[in-house]
Structure formats: C-alpha cells, structure tokens
Amino acid sequence: MKRGYQGSPSGPPQSRSKPNPEGDGVFLEDESTKIFARKVADHYSARTNQTLEEREASPIIHLKKLNNWIKSVLIQLYARPGNAVLDLACGKGGDLIKWDKAKIGYYVGIDIAEGSIEDCRTRYNGDADQNQRRKKFKFPARLLCGDCFEVRLDRALAEDGPFDLCSCQFALHYSWSTEARARRALANVSALLRPGGILIGTMPDANVIVKKYREAEGLKFGNSVYWIRFDEDYADKKFKASNPFGIRYKFHLEDAVDCPEWVVPFHVFKALAEEYDFELVFAKNNHQFVEEYLKKPEFVDLMRRLGALGDTHDKSEFHTLVVIFLPALSVVFVTCTLSPDEWEVAYLYLAFVLRKRGQPDQMQKRNVKKGDNDTPITKEDIMYITS
C-alpha cells in the first residue's frame, strides 16, 4: 500500500499567474472559494470564549494543552525581546500571553472571523474572563478583521512593518483551497517579513491524513474524538500530483473544529514557499516534535506548568508520552494524561519553520507605533479590510 501523498517532488504545477514575492500580483478568487472561507469564518465566530471550568471539562483538554505547549516551544525558540510580530489567523487571542512572556515589542493580529477578533480585543484589554485577575500586556497591539489569504496585507500594514516574526497556527491549510489563495498567503508574509525573518506555524500533516484515508475502508476514518471524511470525488483514494490544490475533506474534532479543510502536500508547500524567498528550517510531525523537545528539561518543565504533565507513581493511568519517550528522557516519573485517541489526533499535525532569505539591514528603522500598552483597543480601532 502506498504511504502518504504521492505527489511530484518537483513542486507545484506551472501557474498561469506569475509569482510575485513582493505581493504586488493580483490573485483572482472564484465565488465558491469565498463561500467556503465564509463557512470557516462563521464556524469560529460562533464559538464562544469558555470559562476555565468549561475548558477543563473539554473531552480534548489534554490535546489542547499539548498544542499550547507546541506553540509555546516554537515561540520560545524564535521570538526575541522587542520583536514585531504578525499573527495570521490569530483567532480569539489565545497566544497573547505566550507573546507577552516572550517580551515582544509590537503585535498585529488578523483574523477573518469578526467574533474571534472581538474576543481577541477583549482579551487584550483584560476583559475576557471576569473571574481572573486582569492581565495587562506589555506590548502595544493592533487588530485587523479580514481574509489574510485573499487581501493584500502589505497595503494595510504599510506603516507597521517590517516584522521580525510571523505566526500562523493551525490555519494555513485554509489557504490551500486554490493556488491563488496559497500564493496570496505566502506573498503577504514575504512582503511583510524582513530579510532573515521567521515564519512559524502548524498545519495538518498530509502524509498522515492520506495514509490513514487509504487504510480506511470507506470515505471516513477517525476515533472517539475526531473524524475525517473525504468527498466522493476521492472515492478512488487517488490524488493527482498535477493538481495539489483544492483537495477538500470535512474535519470534525470534539469541542474544537467542524468545517471543511484542505490537504496541503508539504513538498508542494515547500516548493511554493521557495518562490517567495523562503527556505525551510524544519518540518516535524507533532509526535516527532514532542519526542525531540521533551529531551530538553526546560520544555519538560513548560509542559508540566501547562498542566499536561505531572509526577506520579500510578502505573494504572495511561501515560502516552512516558511509554513512547521515556527512554529518551532522564526524567523517571514524567507522566501524561493524554488519551490514546487524543494522541492519534496530534499525529495528524506537523510544526514547521521557514526563514526569509537574506540578512537583516541593521540600519533599517521600523516605523514608530502609535499607542502603548496602556492604551486599550476599542471597537473603532479594529480595521476591516476587503479585497
């Protein structure tokens, strides 16, 4: 049986629109793509902020904590004090605390979902959870509402760049519905990152998803907390290397996701990114990522602080990470309450890091930002951008 996505290693098919690393090109969208983008936006807008008690009661709470750990590790590895950060598909601002701990100097978040941006605004202002002490972030911020895989961001953010670091967590695959959107996403990041700047992200692992689909008996596979179902168009379980965009499936994850997503063959993503002046630093499946970075004591301690690890001698409890990774650790009693089904979901994703080619210009001065950390973001401050 074939394993994973059988695509051409030579990269994406020849595009009728020439790539433009500066983001000056016009990438045309069809109406059906916009409809699917709106479905994704409506799904995330409809999700409300949960209380601490509700979050802890989630059937995938340990998976969520693991994902938070992975994002935290990426941020600790690449964010530097004073960095200007662009957060694509920032959602409800769940990573704001991570950026604050990294002591960044400026933050711009953009998301397509109006409800998510409003939640991000209230979280930044310290009003997200009345049961917790008001969090005061140390960096000024700006929020935009719009489709960052459709609109030109270099125009809207002309006074904000260049950025040192861009983050796109569990979202870049939504750009893969068409080649035009995939190119716009990369053109936006390339246009706004300084030479030597970093793009960190997480996305579904196409090799794992296609392998599991081919091993399944029908169009659908999953377990107690998730399922993936492909359309009848892919009933033969074959995917043309000549057309790696728009391979849609429905993804359902308990208490998290229930919307269409798209397969991103990573070798095609890498080749496309190279057209926009990016070079791959690494790409690791989440299982591999956990194994590698749990070898470092500081990241073991981080996972424990996030609540995904504990110290116990109770061998009756299922401890996924212990069984798999204990030989690589010098920590005898590291344990994890991640269930086997949650651990399987983690296997569906990978983490990646890209670096924009070139060396930073030490003489280049970033524009002075308006406002400071004492200035709350009002509803009127949110910029709405359209194509």
In the three-class reduction of DSSP (H, G, I as helix; E, B as strand; rest coil), residue 201 is classed as: strand
Q: Which two tokens stand for residue 350?
A: 């990978």
Per the DSSP assignment, residues forming a β-bridge with 85 are 107, 165
Query: How far is it between the farthest Cα atoms of the chain?
Result: 61
For residue range 221-248, list pLDDT tens digits in order: 999 999 999 999 999 999 999 999 999 9
Average pLDDT over every residue of 298-324: 59
Query: Which pLDDT does position 125 carry in this prediction?
Result: 93
Cα gap 168→139, rounded to integer Å: 19
Query: Which pLDDT does position 51 carry in this prediction?
Result: 62
Q: Which CATH number fits domain 31-384: 1.10.300.10, 3.40.50.1820, 3.40.50.150, 3.90.1150.10?
A: 3.40.50.150
Radius of gyration of the chain (CA): 21
The model's confidence at residue 39, banded by pLDDT at 50, 70 and 90, is low
Query: Which pLDDT does position 9 carry in this prediction?
Result: 37
Q: Answer whether residue 328 shows pLDDT above 60.
A: no
| Residue listed under structure tokens 């002591």 | 103
Top-confidence residue, 358 or 328 = 358
Q: Which two tokens stand for residue 45?
A: 């807008």
Strand segments, DSSP code E, in the chain are: 84-88, 106-111, 141-145, 163-169, 193-204, 220-222, 226-230, 248-253, 257-262, 278-285, 309-311, 334-336, 349-356, 383-384
Quickly count helices (H) and strands (E) in the chain: 13, 14
Cα gap 353→279, rounded to integer Å: 9
Average pLDDT, the chain: 82
For residue range 264-291, list pLDDT tens digits in order: 999 999 999 999 999 999 999 999 999 9
For residue range 112-124, list pLDDT tens digits in order: 999 999 999 999 9
The model's confidence at residue 257, banded by pLDDT at 50, 70 and 90, is confident
Q: Answer whether residue 97 shows pLDDT above 90.
A: yes
The model's confidence at residue 47, banded by pLDDT at 50, 70 and 90, is low
For residue range 189-202, list pLDDT tens digits in order: 999 999 999 999 99
Q: Where are the domains of the chain?
A: 31-384
Query: Which pLDDT does position 22 carry in this prediction?
Result: 41
